[in-house]
Amino acid sequence: MKNLVELIDVSLSYGKTLAVSNLNMKVPEGSFAAVVGPSGCGKSSLMKLVTGLMPATTGAVVVDGHEISGPVSIVGMAFQNPNLLPWRTTLENVMLPLEVVRPERHQLRAKKKEFTERAMDLLRIVGLESFANHYPWQLSGGMQQRASLCRSLIHQPRLLMLDEPFGALDAFTREELWDVLQTIWLERRFTAILVTHDLREALYLADDVHVMSNRPGCVARTVNTGAFSRPRGEQTFIDPAFNENVMELRADIRAQRMPIEMAATGAPTTPARAAR
Amino acid sequence: MNMMERAGPIVLPLALLIFWELACETFDIPPFVLPSPSMVAVALYNNAFVIWFHSSQTLYTTVVGFAVAVAFGTFLGILVGSSRLAYTSLYPMLVGFNSVPKVAIVPILVVWFGIGTVPAIVTAFMLSFFPIAVNVATGLATIEPDLRDVLRSLGASQLDIVRKIGIPRSMPYLFASLKISITLAFVGSVISETLASNRGIGTLMTQASANFNIPLVFAGLVVIALMGIIMYMMFAFVEKRMTGWATRGATFGIGG
C-alpha cells in the first residue's frame, strides 16, 4: 500500500540539542501507527515534524507524495489536554476547524446544515450527542477528550495525529476511549499516528508499533500487530501473545533508557519505573 | 452565612460611619480638621446643585477619557499580544510612559489645550489605558501552545488565531482591567481639575479647602467615591453577563 507519511533520515535539532536523528519511518495510507519510547526521546518532535509545524533540520518528511515545507492541512490533531474553548459549546468546539480550514471556511454559511450534521454524527459515535449544547466545564475529563477527538476529525483529515490523548485519564475511561477510537477508525479508515507512553494502548490500537531509541531519537524496532484480529476487545487483553508483546516492548524501552540515569541512581531499575 | 455576606457591604460602612460620628463627638474634633459624617451629609444636601454642576463635568471627562482608553488600550493590547515584533519594540516605551507621574504632564497639557475639559480627558485617558493594554496582551500571549498548533496545522493565519481564540480568550482579562481602569480614570480627571480647571469635582474641592469649608471637601470625596462604585458595578455586571464561562469552576463536571 502507498505510504501516506514517510520520514527519510530525518534529524531535528533545537539549538545545539539534537532531538531526533536518522529517523526513518513509513506509515501506509489507512493504517494505524503507534510510537512508543522512553521519555524525552523526541516523540513530540515527531508530531511537529509530520504536521509540518517544524521543518526538519536534515532529511525529508514526505506526506502524501510531497516533501513538506509547512503545515499540511490534511491533518487533525488531538493532545493530552483537550484544549476545548470554554466560551463555546461542545458542538461549536467540534466545528472550530471548519472555520479555519480551506475550502470549508468559505462554505460555512452555505453548508451550515451539512456541517452541523457531520459534527453531530461524530458526537453520536463517541456518545456525546446529548451534550452537544453543553459547555466544556459541564463535561468530565473523558467527555472533554471525546469532544477533542471529534474536533480533530471534523474536517475529515486523511491523517490523524494523537499526542498521548488519553494520558491524563483514569484507567477505565482510557480503555473505554480506546474502543471509541478503534470504532471511529474502523469506520473511517484514516491514517493515524499515536504517540503514547502506554504500551498496551499502542499494541491494542495500532497496526505497527514503532519503538524509539533514546535521544537523539530514531526508530529502534517496529512491531507488527497483525496477529491480533480486529475489532480488538476484551479477548485481546487475555491473549497470551498480546501480553508477551507488551513484555517485549517493555524490555526494549528499558534497554533504551539513559545509562547515565541508572549509574546515577545506582539502584536496579524496577519494571514499574521502566513502563507505566 | 449567605445573609451576612449580603448584608456585609451595607453593615460595615454603616458601622464605620457610626464610629466616625461618635469619635468626632466624643473627642470634640473641630469640623475644619475632620467633619463628622452628619456634617458632610448636610454639606452634600445644602450644596446639591453646585455639586451636581461640578460632578457632571467630572463624570463627563472621566467617561470620555475612559472610552478612548478602552478603544486605544484594546487595540494596543491586541497588537502587543499577537506580534512579537510589536511586543519587543513597544513594551519598553509603554512601561517608561506609564512610570511618568501624570501630575507632571498636566501643566504641559494646559499649555497645549488650555485649562478645562481637554486636559482632564487626556489625563483620565493616560492613566487608564495602560492596565487595559497589558491585560489584553496577557490574554492573547497566554494561548495554549497545543491549541495554537491545532489551528496552525489547519493552515490558520496568525490573524485567524487572534480572532478565533485570542480575542474571546482575553475578554475576562479585558473586563478585569476595565474595573481597575475606570477608577484610575476618575483619579486622572480629578487630578487635572484640581490643577487646572474651573469646573469639576477637583476644582470644587480645591476651592472649598481654600475657604476652609472642609465638610464640602469631604462631600466632594464622597461623590467621587460613589461615582467610582457605580461605574465599577456596571462593569462587574456586564462582565458577569459576557464572560460567565470564565468564572465557573473549570474542574466541575457531570457524567462519567
- Name the grid cell of A272: 514499574
Percent of chain B with pLDDT over 70: 95
Separation of alpha carbons A83 and A79, rounded Å: 8
Length of chain B in terms of residues written: 256
Confidence class of residue B1 from pLDDT cuts 50, 70 and 90?
low
Looking at residue B251, its pLDDT comes to 38
Q: In whole angstroms, give the CA distance from residue B227 to residue B240.
A: 20
Check whether A5 has a pLDDT greater than 80.
Answer: yes
The pLDDT-based confidence of A192 (bands split at 50, 70, 90) is very high
Average pLDDT, chain A: 84
Residue B25 has a CB neighbour count (10 Å cut-off) of: 11
| Phi, psi dihedrals of residue A186, rounded to the nearest 5° | -65, -30
Q: Is residue A268 pLDDT above 70, yes or no?
A: no
Interface test with A, best of B144, B147, B150, B251 (most A CBs within 10 A): B150
Q: Determine the average pLDDT of the residues in A27-48.
A: 85
* Residue among A137, A139, A161 minimizing CB distance to B255: A139
Domain residue ranges in chain B: 36-243
- Looking at the complex, does the CB of residue A52 fall below 8 Å from at least one CB of chain B? yes
Query: Stretch A108-117: mean pLDDT, rounded?
Result: 86
- Give residue B190's identity as a one-letter amino acid code: V
Q: Which of A79, A97, A131 sits opposite B154 (nearest CB)?
A: A97
Question: Which member of B146, B155, B164 has the closest CB to residue A73?
Answer: B155
Q: What is the pLDDT of residues B217-227, one digit of tens each?
A: 999 999 999 99
Q: If pLDDT is split at 50, 70 and 90, which confidence band does B18 have?
A: very high
pLDDT at B75 > cutoff 90: yes
ipTM over 0.85: no
SS3 of residue B204 by DSSP: helix
Q: Tell me how far CA of residue A216 lies from CA of A12, A21, A37, A72, A88, in angstroms.
A: 9, 6, 12, 25, 40
Check residues B251 and B208 and name the one with the higher pLDDT. B208
The answer to whether B249 contacts chain A (CB < 8 Å) is: yes
Residue B254: per-residue pLDDT: 39
Task: Transcribe chain A into DSSP letters.
Answer: --EEEEEEEEEEEETTEEEEEEEEEEEETT-EEEEE-STTSSHHHHHHHHHTSS--SEEEEEETTEE-SS--TTEEEEESS----TTS-HHHHHTGGGGTSTTGGGTTTTTHHHHHHHHHHHHHHTT-GGGTTS-GGGB-HHHHHHHHHHHHHTT--SEEEEESTTTTS-HHHHHHHHHHHHHHHHHH--EEEEE-S-HHHHHHH-SEEEEE-SSSB-EEEEEE-TTS-SS--HHHHH-HHHHHHHHHHHHHHHHHS-HHHHHHH-SPPPHHHH--
Measure Cα distances from B186 to A2, B44, B228 in Å.
Answer: 69, 19, 7
Sheet holding A32-36, edge to edge: A75-79, A159-163, A191-195, A32-36, A208-212, A219-224
Confidence of residue B255 (pLDDT cuts 50, 70, 90): very low
pLDDT tens for B152-179 read 888 888 888 888 888 888 888 888 899 8
Contacts of A106 in chain B (CB under 8 A): none
B255 lies within 8 A of chain A by CB: yes
Tell if the CB–CB gap between A85 and B168 is shorter than 8 Å.
yes
Q: From the list B144, B153, B243, which residue is nearest A77 (CB)?
A: B153
Determine the pLDDT at residue A114.
Answer: 87
Per-residue pLDDT, B68: 96
B56's grid cell: 457632571
Chains A–B, number of C-beta pairs less than 8 Å apart = 87
Q: Give the three-state DSSP class for B254.
A: strand
**Does the structure show a pLDDT above 70 at A259?**
no
**pLDDT at B76 (0 to 100):** 92
Evaluate whether A71 touches B155 at the Cβ level (below 8 Å). yes
Percent of chain B with pLDDT over 90: 33
Q: Which residue has the higher pLDDT, B249 or A112?
A: A112
Question: What's the grid cell of residue A189?
Answer: 479508515
By C-alpha distance, which of A239, A250, A184, A248 is closest to A32?
Answer: A184
Query: A104 pLDDT exceeds 90?
Result: no
- For residue A270, pLDDT beyond 60: no
List the strands of the sheet with A66-67, edge to edge. A17-28, A3-14, A58-63, A66-67
User: CB-based burial of residue A194 (10 Å sphere; 0-12 exposed, 13-18 middle, 19+ buried)?
Assistant: buried
Residue B239 has pLDDT above 90, yes or no: no
Q: Is the pLDDT of residue B63 over 90?
A: yes
Quick check: A65 pLDDT over 50? yes
Q: How confident is the model at residue B72 (pLDDT cuts 50, 70, 90)?
A: very high
**Residue-level pLDDT at A266:** 46
Tell me how crowded residue A70 is: count the other CB atoms within 10 A of its CB: 11
Binned at pLDDT 50, 70 and 90, residue B122 comes out as: very high
Q: Is the pLDDT of residue B127 over 80?
A: yes
Q: Closest CB to B155: pick one of A71, A87, A137.
A: A71
Mean pLDDT over each residue of chain B, to the nearest integer: 87
> What pLDDT score was predicted for residue A17?
83
pLDDT digits (tens, 9 = 90+) for A228-240: 888 888 888 888 8
User: In chain A, pLDDT over 70 holds for what percent of residues?
Assistant: 92
> Which residues are CB-neighbours of A163 under 8 A, at least 6 positions away?
A43, A44, A47, A77, A78, A79, A80, A195, B146
Nearby residues of B53 by Cβ (< 8 Å), 6 or more positions away: B199
Query: With bands split at pLDDT 50, 70 and 90, how would you rate the model's confidence at B253?
Result: very low
What was the pLDDT predicted at A90? 92
Q: Give contacts of A86 with chain B, Cβ < 8 Å.
A: 245-246, 250
Residue B247 pLDDT class (50, 70, 90 cuts): low
The pLDDT score that the predictor gives to residue A165 is 87
* CA dist., res. A213 & res. A38, Å (int): 7
pLDDT in tens, A151-170: 998 988 899 999 888 888 88
What confidence score (pLDDT) does residue A220 get? Answer: 80
For the segment(s) B36-243, the CATH number from 3.30.1050.10, 3.40.640.10, 3.20.20.330, 1.10.3720.10 is 1.10.3720.10
Per the CB < 8 A criterion, the answer to whether A155 and A97 are in contact is yes
The confidence band for A264, taking pLDDT boundaries of 50, 70 and 90, is: very low
Rounded to two decimals, the pTM is 0.76
Q: What pLDDT is recorded for position A13?
A: 85
CA distance A64 to B20: 79
pLDDT at B74: 92
Q: What is the pLDDT of residue A82?
A: 87
At CB < 8 A and 24+ separation, what contacts does A1-4 make?
A: A1/A28, A1/A29, A1/A30, A1/A31, A2/A28, A2/A29, A2/A65, A3/A27, A3/A28, A3/A29, A3/A62, A4/A28, A4/A29, A4/A30, A4/A63, A4/A64, A4/A158, A4/A159, A4/A191
What pLDDT does B250 receive? Answer: 41
Neighbours of B11 (CB within 10 A): 11
For chain B, positions 142-161, list CB contacts with chain A under 8 A. 144, 146-147, 149-156, 160
